[in-house]
């Protein structure tokens, strides 16, 4: 690190996640000596403020990355594909929040609470997992370590902010139209680039990202494949059903697991999670304490509650996992990886 | 049946479900000779229309049931406990939509597509199951018949209308307050009679009904116990996580099942459900066809889609099940039981 701190670039600085990255870097007082804010041509020229100073966002070019030490990418997969190698070529370490490199065997896929050491294996790029995957593995890793893990079946309750700022606008505009008894035309959700668009306000859409030939969506397959990679468990049985809700921010997950040890009680799982890194246990049914997305917004933690032992299967447990999809699901996990790079001495 | 039709009573005629019962009786042209509309003292005197004629709702008394042949109850468990035996004593057959008698071993719990024959075992009262249970067993029974059924893990996405008209008002009022940036105080949801109330608009609440000591809610235990009773499978492994959503009407369910036969394909399950009674298959991922609550409102069917074979377990399958909780989940199933009573010759 130079005397004044690191040269950090944020690519996609004007987006929903990019904005949260800047807020998080500021809140964490990340040691930044020089800050370069980049975007696609479309958003270049916009003004963004950081620590009270105004920055003009520049269009990313290969040369933008000269001297950059850490580059946080969140401007879509195609931007990462184009510019991450250019950044690496110029000596930067890239923390990529898109799906471009997540399943690349040469790229570590990292949730610091789970597999921080994998960062050491990087070849210039470190991938940030999908939002819905991150919060789940934060909750599952302590359980895996203590009791082993055989099976995961997750049903998600995902917020629209995972689909970007336009999706947030669509939810709010639609909700208002419905309350007014007015007509509206869905244009964004469930998937901006797909053929059909459906009402999201006062509805639930069982599609996030496009469908694969096997009937699962790409979002579901991300949860399945990324969980196995992050937890180093290629043999783990994982299934996901991903559903978009009329919630602005905060993903929830109903998770059924089968552990690899007999005779474990729900209380043991609660005790374990009450001290687990990155986890806040909110589990007091008698006082109606459980996680909810509205409470998780703006927080870095993963909230876990409704922990129950299955009534039939001794190794079965049910959990309810909630987190801010823009923070632990994206911006905070990326900044956390950058902090790990410093901690591990991989950036100087 | 008398020449002019049956003497039918609707108890709870002014409530959300009672109104749907009347609309359904009208739509089905149920053979009514005389209609008696009853309620608690609180709603007595209200005017309700049926087939263009105006009725005044009367306060239920034991004598109200003189001459009644079929009484449809949907005015809360305490009203059913008080008056269902009075109705039976006077010769009526009661179809009860509350939880008062559902688990009573002397009371059949009926979803006509699944266990219509159980109606014959009635001792005056036939119970209508919980809304979230009904749509699930309609989807599962054809699978059980064809392939056997070992395990069910369901996560629900439930609409506020299941909590009554006041909950619908609360959702709409809150949504408007949030869109306006105004303050609001939750007063009804998740459970009117519980200690704390939480924001439902743009949120998800993992509590429906109160908690039991085992950490499951009563709603979850209803799904577990009622499913076993309706399907005559006391040994079936069933687990549920029930979640309230900012949706007005239409319950959705993400259901994971394990069947009792190897080598079955997703296509076989789809074919089976495409001709199953009460089921409409909506499963064409390529054209983004899947069930959604907004599409199910006002319809009697149970819509099933997103049918996928588990990627790891040969006997595992995933389904997405949606239905109108006020119709198949309540009013329509009750009227359907009344129609079965006629069909089976149990009312004359």
Taking the domains of chain B in order of start, what are their residue ranges?
Answer: 6-129+330-343, 133-325
For residue A182, count other CB atoms closer than 10 A to its CB.
Answer: 9
Q: Mean of the pLDDT values across residues A182-202?
A: 97
Q: Which value does ipTM take for this structure?
A: 0.97
CA dist B46 to B40, B42, B49, B165, Å? 11, 9, 10, 16
Q: In chain B, what residues touch A207 (CB-CB under 8 Å)?
A: 288, 290
Alpha carbon of A171: minimum distance to chain B alpha carbons (Å): 10
N-to-C CA span, chain B: 4
Annotated binding site of A for substrate: 158, 244
Q: Is A318 a catalytic residue?
A: no
How would residue A94 be classed by pLDDT, with cut points 50, 70 and 90?
very high
Q: Which two tokens stand for residue B283?
A: 């499963």
Task: Find all residues with CB under 8 Å of B184, minimum gap 6, and list them.
Answer: B173, B174, B177, B178, B199
**CATH architecture classification, A6-130+330-343:** 3-Layer(aba) Sandwich (3.40)
Q: Is it the case that residue A174 has pLDDT exceeding 60? A: yes
Q: What is the pLDDT of residues B35-74, one digit of tens each?
A: 999 998 889 999 999 999 999 999 999 999 999 999 999 9
Provide the phi-psi class of A168: left if phi over 0, else alpha when psi is between -120 and 50, else beta.
alpha
Residue A16's pLDDT is 87
Q: In chain B, what residues touch A196 (CB-CB under 8 Å)?
A: 287-288
Q: Is it the case that residue B306 has pLDDT exceeding 80? A: yes
Q: In chain B, what residues touch A310 (CB-CB under 8 Å)?
A: 237, 239
**Alpha helix segments (H runs only) across B77-160:** 77-89, 112-115, 131-147
Residue B158 in marked binding region: yes
**Could you give the CA distance from residue B251 to residue B259 in angstroms, rounded to a whole number?**
24
% residues pLDDT > 70 (chain B): 99
The yes/no answer on whether domain B6-129+330-343 falls in CATH 3.40.50.720 is yes
Residue A318: beta bridge partners? A256, A308
> Could A313 and B237 be called an inter-chain contact, meaning their C-beta atoms sit closer than 8 Å?
yes
Active-site residue among B7, B122, B242, B251? B251
Q: What is the pLDDT of residues A242-260, one digit of tens each?
A: 999 999 999 999 999 999 9
| Among the four given CATH numbers 1.20.1530.20, 1.10.3720.10, 3.30.360.10, 1.20.140.10, the one describing domain A133-325 | 3.30.360.10
Active-site residue among A7, A122, A242, A251? A251
Q: Mean of the pLDDT values across residues B235-260?
A: 98
């Amino acid at each position: 690190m130079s005397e004044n701190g690191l040269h950090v670039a944020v690519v996609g600085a004007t987006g929903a996640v990019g904005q949260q990255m800047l807020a998080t870097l500021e809140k964490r007082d990340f040691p930044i000596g020089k800050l370069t804010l980049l975007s696609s041509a479309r958003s270049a020229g916009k003004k963004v403020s950081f620590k009270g100073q105004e920055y003009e966002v520049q269009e990313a070019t290969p040369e933008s990355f000269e001297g950059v030490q850490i580059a946080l990418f969140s401007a879509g997969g195609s931007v990462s594909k184009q510019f991450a190698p250019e950044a690496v070529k110029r000596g930067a370490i890239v923390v990529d929040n898109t799906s471009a490199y997540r399943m690349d065997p040469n790229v570590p896929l990292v949730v610091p609470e789970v597999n921080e050491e994998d960062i050491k294996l990087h070849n210039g790029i470190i991938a940030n997992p999908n939002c819905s995957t991150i919060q789940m593995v934060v909750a599952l890793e302590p359980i895996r370590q203590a009791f082993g893990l055989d099976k995961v079946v997750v049903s998600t309750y995902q917020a629209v902010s995972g689909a970007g700022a336009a999706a947030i606008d669509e939810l709010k505009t639609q909700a208002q139209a419905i309350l007014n008894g007015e007509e509206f035309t869905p244009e964004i959700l469930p998937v901006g680039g797909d053929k059909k668009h459906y009402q999201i306000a006062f509805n639930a859409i069982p599609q996030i990202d496009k469908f694969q030939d096997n009937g699962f969506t790409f979002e579901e397959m991300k949860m399945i494949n990324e969980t196995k990679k992050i937890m180093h468990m290629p043999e783990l049985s994982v299934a996901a059903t991903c559903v978009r809700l009329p919630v602005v921010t905060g993903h929830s997950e109903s998770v059924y697991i089968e552990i690899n040890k007999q005779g474990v009680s729900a209380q043991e799982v609660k005790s374990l999670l009450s001290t687990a890194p990155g986890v806040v246990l909110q589990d007091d049914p008698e006082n109606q304490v459980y996680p909810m997305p509205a409470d998780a917004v703006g927080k870095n933690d993963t909230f876990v509650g409704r922990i129950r032992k299955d009534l039939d299967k001794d190794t079965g447990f049910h959990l309810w996992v909630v987190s801010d999809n823009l923070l632990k699901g994206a911006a905070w996990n990326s900044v956390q990886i950058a902090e790990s790079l410093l901690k591990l001495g991989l950036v100087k």
